[in-house]
Amino acid sequence: MKKTINLDGTLIEYQIHDQHEDGVDAPWLVCLPGLGCDLDLFKPLRPNLVKKFRLIEINHRGIGASSLATSEFSISDLADDVLKITDALAISTFSLLGISMGGFITQEILSKKNEGIKAAAILCSTGGGDQYFTFPFIKDEDIVKLHAIEKNVRAELSTATTTHPELKQNSPGIYEEIVSYRKNLEVPIETVLKQNHAAIDFMKKGVKLESIDLPIFVGHGENDRFVPVANAELLSRDLKAVEFKTYPKSDHFFFWEKGEGLSQDLSDFFMEYAK
């Protein structure tokens, strides 16, 4: 069940998945979705992860029942929201799972706080700074044009451009799941634009990755047309990740395209390092 928490006047929506019996102290895993997406982005990963972890999934500002942002915000602000939530819920030890922009937020959190964080996984994401500046930013006018397209057509188009070209033919069920997710996604364009501004600012500056010292898993689709796989490989080296893995025949939505295998890899990783 989704709930909201008041953080100094800002409501943030979250959802906890806990299938463990009372008294079973399963590790916490904080899940951070990407740009323009809500917490149901973790749907393909839940079935495996909930077997061994308690999941807390967060809707960032302006998503779902979370308060609309009245002004611009930064990735650092979103990271602060996450830390305030874990503090308010008395979650003192946890691990992090960030998808795309959620990977930016994960890096920000790790640059602010290491105490109590056991491990982190960063998926289809990149670091920031000149060394990562290898692909064009999303322009506001492109976001506006996309949102002007009829919703069902937009869902199909967005899915086709973020999944492997063979997915629709080879795995039509998974393809239609992603299309359905996008059709049901309700995110104000103002929120998407503000998130995009925050993401661009992060990609220009980044954080000091050398200060981060804990187990990291970096995963990426081999055919990602949005964030080059070379960026993930560089991020993995800069973070001294204990595991870097690419997934064949998958694009930016590789976490859904390869959800079953990836979720098992994540479960194994977190069970080793997040106990």
Per-residue pLDDT band at 251 (split at 50, 70, 90): very high
The per-residue pLDDT of the chain, averaged, comes to 94
pLDDT score, position 23: 53
The pair phi, psi for residue 37, each rounded to 5°, is -125, 160
Distance CA 248, CA 222 (A): 5
pLDDT score, position 113: 76
Q: Which domains does the chain have, with CATH numbers?
A: 2-273 (3.40.50.1820)
* 3-class secondary-structure state, position 36: coil
Over residues 82-138, the pLDDT tens digits come to 999 999 999 999 999 999 999 999 999 999 877 899 999 999 999 999 888 777 888
Distance CA 206, CA 108 (A): 8
Q: How much is the pTM?
A: 0.96
